[in-house]
Structure formats: C-alpha cells, structure tokens
Amino acid sequence: MNQKVEEFLTKAKAEETKQAEKEKRRILISAGLFEKETVYGDSYSAECPYYDNEKKKYYGTKKNPVDVTEEEYAEILKYTTAKKDKEDEEEIKATPVNDGAEKTLNTIATITLVCGIIASIICFATLCFQKVPAAGYTYITETKFDASGLGIALSVLIVSIATWAMMKVFANISITLKELNSKIKR
C-alpha cells in the first residue's frame, strides 16, 4: 500500500474514533450517566467560573461519563433520547434567541432610521433652497442655495444612521450573550 494512502487512512480512522468517543461521551452525559468532578484553575474561565475564598482558586464542575461496555452502550442507545436531543440542539442553533427587548430595540432602530431619512429629505428641500426677496423688491423672490441647510440635512441623516447602527449592535450583542449563556447552562 502506498505510504500516503496508509497515512491518510490512519488519520481518518483516528479522527473517526475520536468523533465516536466524543459522541458517546455526549450521549452518556445527556442520559444522566455521569459523575461530577470539581476542577480548579488559577484564573477565571468557562470551566472555572466560581472562586473559592479558602483555597484562593477558581473552580467549576466537570461531568465525566461512567465507563460502559460496548454492549451496555448499544442498549443505552436503544432507550436514550440523546440523538433526538442533538437534532433539537441543532434546530435551536438555527433559530436565534430573540425575545421582546431585542425585537423592540430593532424596531426602534428601524423607525429611527426611516424617520431620520424622511427628516433629512425634508430639511434638504426646505432649508437648502430658500426663496428670498430679490434685491430691492419685496414681491419678487428668487431661489438661493443655503449651505447651512445642506449641513443640517446631512447632520440629521448621519445622526439617524449612527443611532440605527448602535441600536442594532446593542441588540445583536444582547442576542449573542443570551445564546452563549444558554449554551453554558447546558
């Protein structure tokens, strides 16, 4: 057998074994077949989110699946809903967390943007081109361009776009934090 083919097959088999062990671990833990272990760390992390004042270290709990034979694992697979849970988890990942506050903020952001665009158009039409009396006449008017009106119109537009963008960013940050929080709690 060619050496490159042999290396590829060895890597592929090792990766497949690794994925199978990872899936077995996930299924056993989701079925409640695990033991909790307290782990300590020197700094705050997702694994060690709590602080022990006596030991002066961060700590957390780790779930270790119980050891089972292949026959026991095959029997567990018949009765577990872990495979179904994985499909549900993928479906949850596909639908973003978006509750009332974020929806409200997104709605206000959109309304702010639309109103800002309309207001800037109105400012542009009314403030940029003004009718002023012609030199020496009160009943004859001429239209003149006013640069300060253009500045006001552009300012209204830029402020509304910036406000819209900030509100969207805040809503997206909130959604992302809620998704991360729900993943950590699982």
Dihedral sign computed on CA atoms, order 151, 152, 155, 161:
negative
Pairwise pLDDT comparison (5 vs 184), residue with the higher score = 5
* CA terminus-to-terminus distance, the chain: 46
Q: Which of 65-79, 124-138, 150-164 has the lowest mean pLDDT?
A: 124-138
pLDDT at 112 > cutoff 70: yes
Q: Alpha helices of the chain — where are they, by DSSP H?
A: 3-30, 70-79, 82-94, 100-123, 147-185
Is residue 127 within 8 Å of residue 152, measured between CB atoms? Answer: yes
**To the nearest whole number, what is the mean pLDDT of the chain?**
83
